[in-house]
Structure 1
Amino acid sequence: MDYQILALDLDGTLTNSKKEITPQTKEALIRIQENGIKVVLASGRPTTGVLPLAKELQLERFGSYILSFNGGRITDCRSREILYNRLLPKNIAAPLFEIVKHFDVDIVGYSEKAILSGLHTNQYTELESRINGLPVRHIEPFTEHIEADNNKFLITGEPDEIARVKDKLIPHFHGLLNIYCSDPFFLEIMPQNIDKAHSLEKLLSSIGLTTEQMICCGDGYNDITMIQSAGLGVAMANAQPAVKEAADFITLSNDDDGILHVIQQFF
């Protein structure tokens, strides 16, 4: 197959355990872009958290793309144009907060310059801060200080508590929100029907490509839909078992240059 576009999850996929892209993987990604292949950095991170990696891979030079907030926003790196932007319902923060505040978790929002913590800043909120290179700012009351336009919220906490929150929220917001775990300690609160696969299909349509021409690589639960929809769905060796089951091909781990292996095999 003549693959024309490569969509990559970041954490646990493109970056290693040190949150770095190895020099050899970086070189390979720049080379395929020089040959006309488009690269999409597809992440649950906010756009600001993806920009440093986009710069490192020269996405602006080659007209490649950022898919941030799990598909809530798509940005053309060359023009800086936002090609797609789906927001949470405007009045969702208050009823969501009223439920979440009764659990031992944090609720996180995003600004251009900070991770916004609305309850109990915990080690997983701090992890989100480190992943994105943004400081944590505690805001109180959350519902008054959070901006009206949000692509997503994130609930952080111990896996058992996250599971309890998830069981409470899903039936309550059925038909309004897409709620799922990207990691056992991260519960994603997304607009209804928004995920990486949905937004990648929007991007492909706008640039005249098909899903059959796309390779998608990931390791987490939030990567399953794009892996299933791609012409070639790739799971990392370190991926969750359900991700591996959804994939057509399993590459090396993120600490063994798994993405470089994909490029060598299929480009």
Structure 2
Amino acid sequence: MKYKIIVIDVFNTLLNNKYELTEENRNALLYIQKELGIRVVLTSGRTATALKPLAEELNLREYSGYLIPYHGGQIVNCRSGKVIASHRMATSFVDVLDARARAEGVTLLAFGRDSIFSTDPTDPLAVKESDICGQPLVSKHPRSSEVIKCSFVGEAEKIAELEVVMRRDYGDKLNIFRSSETLLECLPSEVQKIKAISDLLDKLDLSRDELVSVGDSYCDVEMIQLAGLGVAVANAREAVKACADYITTSNEENGVAHLVDKYIRHEYEAVPFSVEDVNSIVPGTLMESLGIRCTKIARGYVEATMPVDIRTRQPMGILHGGASLAFAETLAGFGSVALCNPGEIQVGLQVSGNHVSSALEGDVLRGEASIMHQGRSTHVWSINIYSTKSGKLICTCRVLNSILKQR
């Protein structure tokens, strides 16, 4: 798949625990923008001001990148510097949240364009948010200024209790969720990361299959599930990792650079045999009957082709769905053989697929298989099959292989 856009959560995903952009992650993102033309979008619950230094370091202006701050409350075009979408919180809600914060013994933060109103500007948690966001804390109530989102900060136990109450009283009017144990977010009900990303895809005339999303927290789950390739960093919560197509290394281990190398640059480890070696075992098998030829193989990645002709078509002259599943299982089988240790063999356990588009006789299909899970006894592969004529996705499959000791 030729990915065309990557959306990356910033804190605890792109940046390490010291809030640093490592050289490895920086170089990986500069490479995919310059060499592959992939747009980079930075997203966060924090302000646009907090993201702009990163945008400059990654040359997002030069390469037409975007920012999605405030959990989707804004979309910023880095090339023009203009805010192309924005949402505001009604002043009446700010008043209500102010009163609730004072009653519950927590601190309210109301984020405006240039400053952050706080019910307690001396609260260490408020000061930390101010430092990260690059905006000063003010005690003057923002009645006349634009408020994009509000947050409660406080002790984890109080924030957990407040979340229950707020969802009960305002869940139908506000988008309420915890982004950390000590931070409860309150946004206009229409503000969601997934909606902002979907709107941006529509604006750029891109499909979700061309999207890579990377995140770590509960508020990243929907964008991970939306993407053609949804990725969680290894430091993500278990529930978030369960929703991802792939789990990359942690934010302390250059997880974004690892993802780029593995799925976008395809810089996989070599295997001790060639494509020619793989194709030499094809004669006299189903693979030969279907015209399947391996074109690339490495540890964790395989490409192959299969024609749509008299061997693989239906009577109507279009690709037979069963041929797609056989193609997918073949790709996964080649891939697992490349990952097996000496004395091990692989056998297929399960193959499932969704037929997305049809392919006509005379077309040639290109299959791409990537490892999703490599355990001691099982391998899970994700396979996408494309038309080489139209470039359309024809079928997407999952294959489960069992790894056995050779007898």
TM-score of the superposition, structure 2-length normalised?
Answer: 0.62
The one of 249, 252, 261 aligned to 1:252: 249
Between the aligned partners of 1:40 and 1:82, the Cα distance in structure 2 is: 14
Partner of 1:206: 203
Which stretch of the first structure deviates more once superposed, 108-117 or 230-239?
108-117
Find the residue that maps to 1:254 and give its secondary structure: coil
Deviations 1:76-99 (A, max 9, x none): 000112221122234211122222
Partner of 1:229: 226
Partner of 2:17: 17
Larger helix proportion of the pair = 1
Between the aligned partners of 1:230 and 1:121, the Cα distance in structure 2 is: 40
Between the aligned partners of 1:105 and 1:232, the Cα distance in structure 2 is: 39
Between the aligned partners of 1:220 and 1:174, the Cα distance in structure 2 is: 20
- How many pairs align? 263
Shift of 1:124: 1.9
Larger strand proportion of the pair = 2
| Amino acid corresponding to residue 176 of structure 2 in structure 1 | I
Mapped contact 2:13–2:256 kept (Cα < 8 A) = yes
Shift of 1:197: 0.9
Mapped contact 2:5–2:40 kept (Cα < 8 A) = yes
Matches within 5 A, 1:113-124: 113-119=114-120, 121-124=122-125
Between the aligned partners of 2:190 and 2:114, the Cα distance in structure 1 is: 27
Does 1:157 pair with 2:157? no
CA gap of 1:124–1:242, structure 2 versus 1, over 3 A, is farther
Query: Which structure has more RCO (C-alpha within 8 Å, separation ≥ 6)?
Result: 1
Listed as ranges, the gaps of 5+ residues in structure 1 are none
| Amino acid corresponding to residue 162 of structure 2 in structure 1 | V
Partner of 1:63: 64
Does 1:193 pair with 2:186? no
Mapped contact 1:100–1:165 kept (Cα < 8 A) = no
CA gap of 1:146–1:234, structure 2 versus 1, over 3 A, is farther
Between the aligned partners of 2:188 and 2:263, the Cα distance in structure 1 is: 34
Shift of 1:172: 1.2
| Amino acid corresponding to residue 77 of structure 1 in structure 2 | C
Listed as ranges, the gaps of 5+ residues in structure 2 are 265-407
Partner of 2:165: 168
- Higher CA-based Rg: 2
Partner of 2:84: 83
Between the aligned partners of 2:39 and 2:8, the Cα distance in structure 1 is: 11
Find the residue that maps to 1:12 and give its secondary structure: helix
Mapped contact 2:232–2:246 kept (Cα < 8 A) = yes
Cα RMSD, aligned residues only: 1.5
TM-score of the superposition, structure 1-length normalised?
Answer: 0.94
Find the residue that maps to 2:214 and give its secondary structure: strand
| Amino acid corresponding to residue 182 of structure 1 in structure 2 | S
Shift of 1:193: 3.3
Find the residue that maps to 1:217 and give its secondary structure: strand
Percent pairwise identity? 34
Mapped contact 2:101–2:108 kept (Cα < 8 A) = yes
Partner of 2:5: 5
Between the aligned partners of 2:125 and 2:115, the Cα distance in structure 1 is: 15
Partner of 2:53: 52
